[in-house]
Structure 1
Amino acid sequence: MNEASLPIDRCDVLVVGCGISGLSAAVAAAAAGATVTVLERATPEEFGGNTRWTESYFRMKSETEVSDDFEELLVANAGHHIDPEIVQHAAAPYEDWPPHVKAHGMPDPELVATLAGEAGATVRWLQGFGVRFAALPTYFVTAAAPRLMPVGGGLALIEALRDEALRLGVAIRYRSTAQQLRRADARGELAVDTVGPDGSVRRIVARGVVLGTGGFEGNPEMLTRYIGPQARYLRPVARGGNYNRGEGIRMALDAGGAPAGDFGSYHAEPMDPRSAQVEPLVMSFSYGLLVNKEGRRFVDEAPGPVDVHYDPIARAIKDQPDGIAFMVYDQRIHEVPNWKKGIRTDQPPIEAGSLEALARACGIDTAGLLATVAAFNAACAGDADARFSPLAVDGVATAGLAPPKSNWALPLARGPFCAYPVMSGICFTFGGVKTNRDAQVVDNDGRTIPGLYAAGEAAGLYHQVYTGATSVLRGAVFGRIAGAHAARHAAPR
């Protein structure tokens, strides 16, 4: 079709994506009086991106306060070897930052402070649509951070927001995607070419565009480009990730947006590759050993509480032969209260009467596993049994072993022996576009791109280690901010 003959639709604010970020933006924009259209790749039965499938924990100690370590951890994980000159400038008022600092890919203090400062107000805003929050149990046997959870999880969030969006007159176009974006013309209008359910192309013109499109965990080409060939061993933790193909990030970068976040990394969870269910997690490895197919340990299984350390441990699994590891344990694990709540797979463990038989059943090198377990058992402390405390960081560690096991190190000697296969599941990617505290996309020269916004996974934030229970929260916070700002931007029309 000739570009000049494309059918054209208009609205004040176009939102791309129907997860927590997109729906928060749509509701906020519509409540401010804007006409809003939402594009959603999925069907009405599976709308909602990753949010639909997650418990959606918020790292908050109450409905009004984030955890005590919230800002500290986000700043600590701001990236590797940041130039002290960048840090020095970032300590000044934002208006005084030079362009290269405004465009820097780190999670700058403006973003972190806004996220922490607006968390409580965003919870109250969500409660206004009937969402209830409670400090519900998690799947972690030991946990270091408080977590607030919407009753009903992420599904409750997106259903409440969708219902409010429809009540406000928002138009939601399912099975529709955005393919190309053009920056604002002389009239201040952005154009987005979209593909609908029948494959036809339409153009939507709006004064504000909010990208709530998620990351690129569902795009093997982008995963391989940024993460490397080990990406072939990855798959999304939940079905929502398959819808996240990275178009929003690509469109924003093509429009001049600055990159932010760690494109070479992702938020990982350890999961059973045999299971087809959502989030088939294997989170109790702290009480056993993690070995690869060669029978070798490759990581400290228990450096501290599992909710702090499962992310880098799960990422390390992708670098093992065939991207697979095994949680090996013996009958002593039953001394850990509720250890099975960290096992969410629907598949049974592999069990055998001896380590040799277990190795054969798992496809692990027998000699390698026997040598590893023998070395581990020899490195366990003589008083380990007396000092073992499964529900607290107990310091019961190995001696002279590399890598060490820093806690809960009991010899594996009481058969029968069991194992779960574990792969690195990808929750979401870290790389996206740079945004400011108003969720406006920032270009490579530190300027905002008029009318263009990004929130959630499409906006880069994380480096190194994911600060747990902040992803859905930041999607709601910055989605709401983006929608309200986009509506104000559209008002002159």
Structure 2
Amino acid sequence: MNNDKTDVVIIGAGLAGITTALELLDSGFAITLVDGSSGQALGGQANEAFGGMLLINTPEQSRNRIQDSPELLLEDWLTAARFGDGDRWGRAWASLYAEKNRSMIYDWLHDRGIRFVPSVQWVERGLYGDGNRRPRYHIAWGCGRGVVQTLIRQLEQHPSRDRLTILRNHRVQTLTQDAGGVTGCRGQTEDGKPFEITADNTVVCTGGINGNLEKVREHWDACYGPAPENLLAGSSPDADGALHDQVDAIGGQVVNLHWMWNYAAGVRHPQPQFEHHGLSLIPPRSALWMDCYGRRIGPMPLVTGFDTHDLCKQIGHLPNQYSWQVMNRRIAVRELAVSGTDSNPDFRDGKLLKVVWHALRGGNPALMDWLIAECPDVVVADTPEQLAQAMAGVDGTVPVDTAGMIADLQAWDDQLACSSRLANDDQIRRLQHLHQWGPDKLRTCNLQPILDPKAGPLIAIREQLISRKSMGGIRTDLESRVLDASDQPIPGLYAAGEAAGFGGGGISGIRSLEGTFLSNCILNGRRAAQSISGRL
């Protein structure tokens, strides 16, 4: 068995692990960074992320004349989270985030050369103002991959690079202990060779459980309906929760695994990299969201951008647990987007002029053309009758109510034809609210009828629930130390990022304000490193 000794072993080379390693190298520690993913790429799920982060009191907020404060952010956070009496560590991490996100996350990234798109997006507003009361969603240039790869380059070029050992294709299977606490880890390489690493401190940064659909279904919250058989995977199978089980086995708390951040608008990936691989759409707000039979969902219509948690609850309780969005090409081109780095090449490549150009000219037709050509869940037709027939063919077993769907589409278009003082539809009110914020106005049609022959052809997209992020996990204190059943730190053991529920075993409670995932990997990782180095 290959046996190495180091000051700190970090298990998982995603954004949390990279951040922890950078901070510890700055303090002169010897580090071994272990990653079990196949291939040579480091960075984990961050490589695929869009790159949005929830931040306040930034220059971007100031330029957009957004007045915000830690107190207001924390109020919004606690309203969305709905913490219970046993969630004191999640609440404590939320308070820390509200107070320190500018200095611990934004300023740290800025000092390392990472910049943000000038406009601030307004997401997760809540259905009734019970979400973000201010725009706070900052998109990093380069998306998630740009962020994590910039930090990896700085690791590789660090003045103390000789104190860093990176072990790729090494999957940790167990944590090792003695009477004094955790002493490191053991595992196997990709070719089956055993290894052991002994360390004064061990940091678990292995992500969540959401790449393991069996485990996701095991912990599925009944608020979303029964665990779906047709659930799509939005996380790599490497995020399998195996280290959660190991932490539990040695007496660490693993909590709130039923808290998950799923999305309601998943489609089958045109080029799947693993079984049940899905894409998470940012769906059009001007489309009609319909059930599997083609009937409009209501009485409260579904509109994205307000309450993702509620969207998932609604879809999870529908017959067959999937939905349709029906629109025309004009709506699709202007409003539809796909979450992720490679689905947003202009943001990924830092092309500001192209971002502005696509916004001003009414969207990105190339993305829609790709989905139409490649995605099996997207159908196109010239008439609603033909569209209904194409929709029925996607599943092959569920009939579409053609007459009812046409009636719903006509009723919607009739509402749009009314003057604004006569229209009485909650979706119209939400669209009008979206038009009050500039970045949303650029991406939202101006009350566009769906059956408008000049805006065709018609498009329908079948959407399923897609599993994305674990919001529960290993319970940690504010130093990212793993806590035992008595809420005492287990000596030598830390956790950061998604493995820790992004802080405390669930910093977001039941509902995220969005943009709290990448940013908390940085906050958790930095706190772990500062605790280990005695700088807190």
Give the TM-score normalised by the residue count of structure 1.
Answer: 0.79
One-letter identity of the residue aligned with 2:327 = Y
Of the three residues 317, 320, 326, the one matched with 2:324 is 326
Asked if the contact 1:282/1:342 (under 8 Å) is kept, the reply is no
One-letter identity of the residue aligned with 1:312 = D
Shift of 1:242: 2.8
Q: Which has the larger displacement, 422-431 or 469-478?
A: 422-431
For 1:78, the equivalent position in structure 2 comes to 81
User: Any unmatched runs of 5+ in structure 1?
Assistant: 1-5, 87-103, 389-394
Asked if the contact 1:358/1:418 (under 8 Å) is kept, the reply is yes
Quick one: structure 1 residues 426 and 301, their matched pair in 2 at CA, closer, same or farther if it must change by over 3 Å? farther
For 1:414, the equivalent position in structure 2 comes to 452
Q: Are 1:195 and 2:188 an aligned pair? A: yes
Quick one: structure 1 residues 162 and 382, their matched pair in 2 at CA, closer, same or farther if it must change by over 3 Å? closer
Asked if the contact 1:299/1:313 (under 8 Å) is kept, the reply is no
Cα deviation 1:148-195 (Å, max 9, x = unaligned) = 233212222222222333323321111112111134x24555231122
In the alignment, the residues of structure 1 paired with residue 365 and residue 487 of structure 2 have an alpha-carbon distance, to the nearest angstrom, of 44
Asked if the contact 1:191/1:205 (under 8 Å) is kept, the reply is yes
Cα deviation 1:295-330 (Å, max 9, x = unaligned) = 2334578666x3333453256435545543211124
Asked if the contact 1:268/1:424 (under 8 Å) is kept, the reply is yes
Tell me the SS of whatever aligns to 2:307. Answer: helix
Cα deviation 1:338-374 (Å, max 9, x = unaligned) = 5746995631152223322211101175662432452
One-letter identity of the residue aligned with 1:172 = I
Cα deviation 1:378-403 (Å, max 9, x = unaligned) = 47775754329xxxxxx95438xxxx
In the alignment, the residues of structure 2 paired with residue 162 and residue 44 of structure 1 have an alpha-carbon distance, to the nearest angstrom, of 16
Q: Are 1:347 and 2:371 an aligned pair? A: yes
For 2:143, the equivalent position in structure 1 comes to 153
One-letter identity of the residue aligned with 1:233 = N
Cα deviation 1:264-300 (Å, max 9, x = unaligned) = 5333262332533798443343212122322233457
For 2:15, the equivalent position in structure 1 comes to 20
Give runs of aligned pairs for residues 366-385 of structure 1, distance below 5 A: 368-375=401-408, 377-378=410-411, 385=418
For 1:293, the equivalent position in structure 2 comes to 292
Give runs of aligned pairs for residues 21-420 of structure 1, distance below 5 A: 21-43=16-38, 45-63=40-58, 68=69, 69-79=72-82, 82=84, 86=85, 104-105=86-87, 108-122=90-104, 123-135=106-118, 145-166=135-156, 167=158, 168=160, 169-183=163-177, 185-227=178-220, 230-237=227-234, 241-268=236-263, 270-276=265-271, 280-298=279-297, 306-314=304-312, 316-330=314-328, 333=331, 340=363, 346-348=370-372, 349-363=378-392, 368-375=401-408, 377-378=410-411, 385-387=418-420, 397-398=424-425, 407-408=430-431, 412-415=450-453, 416-420=457-461
For 2:346, the equivalent position in structure 1 comes to none
Cα-Cα RMSD? 3.6
Quick one: structure 1 residues 246 and 141, their matched pair in 2 at CA, closer, same or farther if it must change by over 3 Å? closer
Of the three residues 447, 454, 473, the one matched with 2:495 is 454
Asked if the contact 1:286/1:301 (under 8 Å) is kept, the reply is no
In the alignment, the residues of structure 2 paired with residue 381 and residue 25 of structure 1 have an alpha-carbon distance, to the nearest angstrom, of 56
Tell me the SS of whatever aligns to 2:270. Answer: coil
User: Any unmatched runs of 5+ in structure 2?
Assistant: 62-67, 126-131, 336-358, 373-377, 432-446
For 2:481, the equivalent position in structure 1 comes to 440
Shift of 1:65: 9.4
Asked if the contact 2:233/2:467 (under 8 Å) is kept, the reply is yes
Tell me the SS of whatever aligns to 1:224. Answer: helix
Shift of 1:256: 1.8
Tell me the SS of whatever aligns to 1:444. Answer: coil
